[in-house]
Amino acid sequence: MKNFIQKNLRSMNGVLAIIFGLVALFMPGITLAALGVYFAITLLVGGITLIVSAFKVRKVSPQWSFLLMEGLIGILLAAIILARPKLLATVFVTIMGLWALFIGLIFLFSYFKKVLPTFYNAFLLIISILSLIMGITIMVNPFESTRIITVFIGIYTLAYGIFSVVNSSRNYR
């Protein structure tokens, strides 16, 4: 039962990202404020889950510090979003761009360390490239077309969520 709960905790971050990605893809007209609050809750729950997972696998996985870093970044961004919801509409897209850049760099660094099997490593490279492209695109012109950016965010987040769910099924021993 304990292993079942731990496995589900690790995949929760991915499931939340998949839900967020589907909402962004199929309802791009949704307001950025509502999408931002959902994103903040996703980051908060996902960040907590990643931190718990990092401490649970720290003795058996050399990647535990990356899980911890990703979780802390997620919680920090969630706190920023939730603390200032009225400003969210003006800075949400920029925060998403920064998050994508940070996560893309973390994943790219993980790719070059080659600590995952070939299939996972290739998927990690794809996610890192998508993340970096999304982050750069958003940072260059965050308010050009929020609908297009929202769809792109949905595609990226869906891919990230699938990777997280698939990666959570790995055995860290």
Q: Write the CB contacts of 66 (distance below 8 Å, at least 6 apart in sequence).
A: 106, 109, 110
Q: How many angstroms from the chain centroid is the CA of residue 172? A: 20
Is there a contact between 20 and 160 (Cβ–Cβ < 8 Å)?
A: no
Give the DSSP H or E segment for 1: none
Distances from the Cα of 163 to the Cα of 8, 31, 157, angstroms: 15, 27, 10
Give the DSSP H or E segment for 114: none
Q: For position 10, what pLDDT does the model report?
A: 63
Q: For position 51, what pLDDT does the model report?
A: 93
Q: One digit per residue, pLDDT tens: the chain, 173 residues?
A: 556 655 666 677 788 888 888 887 787 766 566 767 777 898 899 899 989 988 988 888 888 888 899 899 999 989 988 887 666 655 667 777 888 899 999 888 888 887 666 767 788 888 899 889 888 887 887 766 566 677 777 888 888 888 888 877 665 54
The span from the CA of 97 to the CA of 172, in Å, is: 31
Is there a contact between 38 and 77 (Cβ–Cβ < 8 Å)?
A: no
* Gyration radius of the chain's alpha carbons: 15
Rounded to 10 degrees, what is the CA torsion of 31, 165, 113, 72?
Answer: 50
Residue type, 161: G
Q: For position 77, what pLDDT does the model report?
A: 87
